[in-house]
Structure 1
Amino acid sequence: MKLPSSSATNLNKPNLRHFLKTQDYTKQELTDILALMGMLKDARRDNALPQLFAGKTLAMIFEQPSTRTRVSFEAAATLLGGHAQFLSPKDIHLGAKESLEDTGRVLSRMADIIMARVDHHDTVAGLAEHATVPVINGLCDWLHPTQIMADLFTMLEHLPSNKQLSDLTVTFVGDATNVCSSLMFACTKFGMTYKHICPERFKAPAKWVDIAETNCAVSGGKLVLTDDINQVAGSDIVVADSFYWFGQEEEKEIRLSTFIPEYVVTQELMEKAGPESIFMHCLPANDQRECTREVMESDRSVIFDEAENRLTAQMALLVYLTHKNFSQPDEATRARHQEKIGDFLATL
């Protein structure tokens, strides 16, 4: 039997939504988030960010290490007037001494939003199923949606002249990573041409292809899967990512020998892509493996704009997912509580 809740966080909030994958959002909703990113970035530039997360707490669960995800979320919460808590496997009992269900329910009573960077998608999905506050997927084994919001915004900032997002050709060179999948889904949802160039052995699985092709049928986008590196020609944006990741250490040598040197993004490859093509990478980058340092430091590279926009994305997501339940007490309410507590403390 479920007992009535005494929680101060108002369980079963109206308008509760999670951000587990971009496929859960319409093109218009994603466009709205991108617009909000732009306004918040402008406000940050003017040191005039509205305190839209004031008095709120972000719980950050990390099963995997991170630089950009941790710093960007923590900074976003602080800049917007709130607070973030870092929770590693050493700090909480997630999935060990305490179930996902109980973890989600407990954190919902103490935090206003949860971000989880996890080994497996089932973990973040399980948290969302039982949480009564928004849950954000900070990365899992097959998706990295917060990275892709930063990527889309970076594309907007560096659009070729006379082009819109739907006009772009985005080419991902390398392994079928969680960035590859998330970028594939977002680009095809926006009507772009998305090329995945990699050895046959490491191509995107059928499940991903089905999702992307369904998007293309609605948006008019195009999906190209090939092992021919020459197909990079005509690309507006070339994207690279690591050839191996956590859990793939045993495959490291075979992966490197398969991808290198043909699929390394070099200056020559960027020239082949096109005279105005730009280079993106989610970082960290293993230079001289998936890309060269020359490309990373070139005028074509926007990787550090892209990294900064992780903060832009996180600010927007915190606001977008909590703004409908955001409220500040009026001065009369503040004064009433202050007087009541003050009078009590004076008796102690």
Structure 2
Amino acid sequence: MTMMSATPAEIRHLISIKDLSDDEFKSLINRAEYYKKIFKSNDSTELQKQHLKLLGKTVALIFTKRSTRTRISTEGAAAFFGGQPMFLGKDDIQLGVNESFYDTTKVVSSMVSCIFARVNRHQDILNLAKDSSVPIINALCDRFHPLQAICDMLTIKEHLDYENNKLKMAWIGDANNVINDMAIAALKLGIDVSVATPPGIELEREIKDAGERVAAENNCQFTCTHDSLAACKDAHILVTDTFVSMGEEFAKEAKLKQFAGFQINSNLCSVAAPNFKFMHCLPRHEEEVTEEVFYGENSIVFEEAENRLYAAMAAIDIFVNHKGDFNSKP
């Protein structure tokens, strides 16, 4: 696919992975890998050079949902480039209280270099992007989680080298925002994807259609099933997420009954590839994965979590520092 660069009058936003071409998505992973090396090198000259890119600028973090990894990684990425992160929680600003989305977006975007938004509704992301004068970076909404997908693919690249090995990823769990981006991301890299959800739970039709299209373009397999054991067969990556999302706690008992048989445990791992890796975006609950697997030698969850920092760096560098030019050099 051909990369698309922003024109001077056009603002590129990071809304979801399916909005990016394959090459654009690969650029984000490579950029994250590049900045990880710089960050860990402790080269003071190089670090100072990067620190000048957003010196004197502010990066807004509009969060209506609590977080650990997202807040730390986005604030850290802003500071890396010399920007001042400004956390704007739901109790800190007038948004949704006595000021419209439009008014808040116009005001905030006029004073900052970009906005990371971790919100409830996907429509909130779209509203921000429609009216903002600076890039909007989706730090999670109820439909997508693109920063997580960038860090996940970087982690897979580091541990399993998808560029030189044919891989299969098995998702065992809910049809949610994480897999909506992660499935498309993996397929863009030529990784086979098998999604296993409990009976009665299906991926959105739009995600299925996009996944099937990308799989056909990249000569890889994309399957959806309700058989968790079949999905795990010969998989190199086993991944899951919470069965009870924030805001769904009232339905926990019913959800856990629905997800019986979908815990990643030694039984599911026994049919995976011998060198399989286990991934989880955290926080983790026991019903999703046993401690044996989560803390076992095949788990790469903490490396995955750390890579959220470099994913945020990559997003800032391309969408903010280089104004959406994916062909730019770091």
Q: Residue 204 and residue 165 in structure 1: after superposition, are their counterparts in 2 closer, same or farther (change >3 A)? A: farther
Q: Which amino acid aligns with 1:273?
A: A
What is the alpha-carbon root mean square deviation over aligned residues?
Answer: 1.8
Which range moves more in the overlay, 314-323 or 59-68?
314-323
2:321 to 312, 319, 323: 323
Match of 2:259 in 1: 259
Aligned-residue sequence identity (percent) comes to: 35
CA distance in 2, matches of 1:107, 1:217: 41
CA distance in 2, matches of 1:119, 1:165: 38
Q: Secondary structure at the match of 1:204?
A: coil
Higher relative CO (Cα under 8 Å, sequence separation at least 6) belongs to 2
Q: Residue 165 and residue 226 in structure 1: after superposition, are their counterparts in 2 closer, same or farther (change >3 A)? A: farther
Matched, 1:293 2:294: no
CA distance in 2, matches of 1:278, 1:152: 12
CA distance in 2, matches of 1:33, 1:208: 21
**Would you say the 8 A contact 2:169–2:191 is kept in 1?**
yes
Q: CA deviation at 1:95?
A: 3.0
Matched, 1:40 2:38: no
Residue by residue, what CA displacement relative to the aligned partner does 1:298-340 show, whole Å, maximum 9, x if unpaired? 11000000000000100111111122369xxxxxxxxxxxxxx
Q: CA deviation at 1:258?
A: 2.0
2:15 to 14, 17, 20: 20
CA distance in 2, matches of 1:71, 1:165: 32
Aligned 1:37-116 pairs, distance under 5 A: 37-48=32-43, 49=47, 50-51=50-51, 52-116=53-117
Residue by residue, what CA displacement relative to the aligned partner does 1:100-142 show, whole Å, maximum 9, x if unpaired? 2221211121100001100000001100100010000110011
Q: Residue 323 and residue 59 in structure 1: after superposition, are their counterparts in 2 closer, same or farther (change >3 A)? A: same
Match of 2:244 in 1: 244
In structure 1, stretches of 5+ residues that fail to align are 1-11, 327-348
Q: Secondary structure at the match of 2:87?
A: strand
Q: Which amino acid aligns with 2:56?
A: G
Residue by residue, what CA displacement relative to the aligned partner does 1:199-249 show, whole Å, maximum 9, x if unpaired? 121221322211211222222222111111221111010001011112322
Q: CA deviation at 1:166?
A: 7.6
Match of 1:312 in 2: 310
Q: Which amino acid aligns with 1:319?
A: D
Higher CA-based Rg: 1
CA distance in 1, matches of 2:135, 2:80: 19
Q: Secondary structure at the match of 2:200?
A: helix
CA distance in 2, matches of 1:284, 1:294: 16
CA distance in 2, matches of 1:273, 1:172: 12
Which range moves more in the overlay, 12-21 or 169-178?
12-21
**Would you say the 8 A contact 1:190–1:221 is kept in 2?**
no
Residue by residue, what CA displacement relative to the aligned partner does 1:145-196 show, whole Å, maximum 9, x if unpaired? 1111000100100115xx5278221100011111111111212222221111
Q: CA deviation at 1:15?
A: 5.0
Match of 1:7 in 2: none
CA distance in 2, matches of 1:324, 1:279: 34
Residue by residue, what CA displacement relative to the aligned partner does 1:25-50 show, whole Å, maximum 9, x if unpaired? 11111111111111110010112332
CA distance in 2, matches of 1:96, 1:221: 47
In structure 2, stretches of 5+ residues that fail to align are 1-6, 325-330
Matched, 1:201 2:200: yes
**Would you say the 8 A contact 1:78–1:84 is kept in 2?**
yes
Match of 2:142 in 1: 141
The alignment's TM-score, normalised by the length of structure 2, stands at 0.90
Q: Residue 204 and residue 154 in structure 1: after superposition, are their counterparts in 2 closer, same or farther (change >3 A)? A: same
Matched, 1:235 2:235: yes
Q: CA deviation at 1:69?
A: 0.4
Q: Which amino acid aligns with 2:250?
A: E
CA distance in 1, matches of 2:96, 2:63: 13
